[in-house]
Amino acid sequence: MITSKLNETRIVITGVGLTAPNGNNLAEFRKSLLTGKSGIQKITVRYMGEVLAGICQFDPLKYQKKKDLRRGTRAGSIAIYCAQEAINDAGLQLASLDRSRIGVYLGITEHGTVETENEIYEIKQYNYDVKFWSHHHNPRVVANNPAGEVTLNLGITGPHYTLGAACAGGNIGIIQGLQMLLLNEVDLALAGGVSECTGSFGIFAGFRSEGALASHPDPTKACRPFDKDRNGVVVSEGGCIFVLERLSDALKRQAKIYGEIVGYGINSDASDFIFPNKDRQVECMRLALRKAGISPDDIDIINTHGTGTIEGDPVECQAIREVFGEYPHASINNTKSFIGHAMGAAGALELAGNLPSFEDHLIHPTINLDNLDPQCHLGTFVINEPKEVDKVDYILNNSFGMLGINSVVIVKRFER
Amino acid sequence: MTKEQIRATILEIIAQIVPDEDLSNLKGNIPIREQIELDSMDFLDIIMELRKRYGIEVPEDDYVQLATLDSSVAYLEPRMKNL
């Protein structure tokens, strides 16, 4: 079915730029995922005191001036770093591209919270006199800011916007990029997701108030999806942007091809603000499989969304059992156990971390899964050590978010 | 503050706002924005810093007085001499 598609309607990944709490490019990130290296540490957050978080260590001055950092946002810096790295990784020269035909599509969980909290903290020092409120506030907090900063930095004049999709944002950025290429709106999409939420006390306080903020004496063991002793989310920042192109264009320029996006699904639970819905997750995975024209047994890796919450993890496992069976052909892993929950970046980062499996035939494990919760039972979790397989043809990536937004992306090993 | 101290303060504020610029050759009698990259949002940062640090309010009609380093010192001198 797929092979009968025209190359103009096949969308491939030809570049990856990322920053994660345990790596600032795909090679570093992959190495950390294969060697069990966590990126979680203790940090101090205003009003919260010490919390556990994943912080990225990329050098923002690699692509920005000091003044750009002062004026822009952390989300913008993360996005610029990832976009520039993705373009370089794709072997593209910006100067030789028609920059009116590049689109920037970035998933976000939230934006503007960090800046708003900072400004309120600042005017508190002046007895809340709003004449001390920054004139930079509006351009920093508009929802398109991270994508817009990318266009300013790279001189891109094609469309840019963000997609607010809670923790499904990263996948949905990718899907939007794919759709815009299929509609011939752009020739190249910079698509993925970003999050700078560790700069906000509100997200930590919010999860704590929900009883869903992870704690553990050892930061590296705090995020433990599917484990009996899991106790919540570890909040992280991060970013991942892919260069997406039509296969016809990628072949023309003899680009390196990481994989082909062959299926996707987005749907809504329509049932709760916070709690997930197993039936809708099942439908979303089936939607993606149907679009790809494949059956559950074709999938070799299921990268779970699992965030380490008591309520959420079993629902996803139940949904996977329903679609794939309790002992699926696919190996199952989880990336958040290493890097925490990178929110808007999570879906894209977690997909990126698995793409090398097409070539190295290794499946990165889930760490901190010491005692599998029977409610989360699936027979093919890859636990603590990478697993070697004969080949990997299809990766399915789950990302779900609050308000009940589900997203699934399926990537296929590239074959002409 | 003396005039020299006011000049040094203005330069320090500008250095903070445009940290990539070399200010060592900034001429006092030529508009600052003709010598370095300093846009209207940066200019508002100077106004904000004067407000935050010294409680000085510069009305919009007076912004033109801050065009050069020399004119800035002359404008701010009566407002900062007692600081």
Asked if A391 has any chain B CB less than 8 Å from its own CB, the reply is no
Q: For A199-215, give one letter per residue: b (16+ CB within 10 A) or e.
A: bbbbbbeebbeeebbbe
pLDDT of A1 reads 47
Which sign, positive or negative, has the C-alpha torsion A160, A163, A164, A166? Answer: negative
Q: What are the structure tokens assigned to A231, written together?
A: 């106790």
The predicted model gives A309-332 an average pLDDT of 98
Domain A263-412 coded CATH 3.40.47.10: yes
pLDDT of A5 reads 84
The predicted model gives A278-289 an average pLDDT of 98
Residue-wise pLDDT for A373-413, tens only, equals 999 999 999 999 999 999 999 999 999 999 999 999 999 99
**A104: pLDDT strictly greater than 70:** yes
- Cβ–Cβ pairs < 8 A, chains A and B: 23
Measure the CA–CA gap between A236 and A113, rounded to whole angstroms. Answer: 15
**A3: pLDDT strictly greater than 90:** no
Q: What are the structure tokens assigned to A375, written together?
A: 């409610």
Domain B3-80 coded CATH 1.10.1200.10: yes
Is there a contact between B48 and A132 if contact means CB atoms under 8 Å apart? yes
Q: What are the structure tokens assigned to A66, written together?
A: 């000091």
Asked if B83 has any chain A CB less than 8 Å from its own CB, the reply is no
pLDDT of A4 reads 65
Nearest to A342 by CA among A92, A101, A171, A125: A171
Q: Where are the alpha helices (DSSP H) in A293-409?
A: 312-324, 336-339, 346-354, 357-360
At A367, give phi and psi (nearest 5°): -95, 170
Contact A246, A28 (CB under 8 A): no
Share of chain A above pLDDT 90, in %: 99
Residues of A with CB below 8 A from B51's CB?
A: 131-132
Asked if B60 has any chain A CB less than 8 Å from its own CB, the reply is no
Measure the CA–CA gap between A379 and A362, rounded to whole angstroms. Answer: 18
Measure the CA–CA gap between A316 and A332, rounded to whole angstroms. Answer: 12
Asked if A66 has any chain B CB less than 8 Å from its own CB, the reply is yes
For residue A303, count CB atoms less than 10 angstroms from its CB and return exposed for 0-12, middle for 13-18, buried for 19 or more: buried
Residues of A with CB below 8 A from B52's CB?
A: 126, 132
**A106: pLDDT strictly greater than 50:** yes
With 0.90 as the threshold, say if the pTM is over it.
Answer: yes
Domain parsing of chain B, residue ranges: 3-80
Residues of B with CB below 8 A from A132's CB?
A: 48, 51-52
Architecture of domain A11-252: 3-Layer(aba) Sandwich (3.40)
Fold matches, A11-252 and A263-412 = yes
Would you name the residues of A annotated as active-site residues?
Answer: 167, 305, 341
Asked if A126 has any chain B CB less than 8 Å from its own CB, the reply is yes
Is 0.90 exceeded by the ipTM?
Answer: yes
The predicted model gives A82-93 an average pLDDT of 98
> Mutual orientation of helices A169-182 and A346-354 as an angle, nearest 10°?
80
Domain parsing of chain A, residue ranges: 11-252, 263-412
Q: What are the structure tokens assigned to A33, written together?
A: 């995922």
Measure the CA–CA gap between A306 and A167, rounded to whole angstroms. Answer: 11
Q: Where are the beta strands (DSSP E) in A252-383?
A: 259-268, 301-303, 331-333, 362-363
- The residues of chain B scoring below 70 in pLDDT are none
Asked if A135 has any chain B CB less than 8 Å from its own CB, the reply is yes
Q: For A34-54, give one letter per residue: b (16+ CB within 10 A) or e.
A: bebbbbbeebebeebeebbbb
Residue-wise pLDDT for A313-322, tens only, equals 999 999 999 9
**A2: pLDDT strictly greater than 60:** no
B20, B44, B48 member nearest A66 (Cβ): B20
**Closest chain A residue to B51 measured between Cα atoms?**
A132
Q: What is the mean pLDDT of chain A?
A: 97
Give the closest-approach CA distance of B16 to chain A in angstroms. Answer: 9
Dihedral class, residue A47 (left if φ above 0, else alpha if ψ from -120 to 50, else beta)? left
Is there a contact between A131 and B51 if contact means CB atoms under 8 Å apart? yes
pLDDT of A238 reads 98
Residue-wise pLDDT for A156-182, tens only, equals 999 999 999 999 999 999 999 999 999
The predicted model gives A29-34 an average pLDDT of 98
**A185: pLDDT strictly greater than 60:** yes
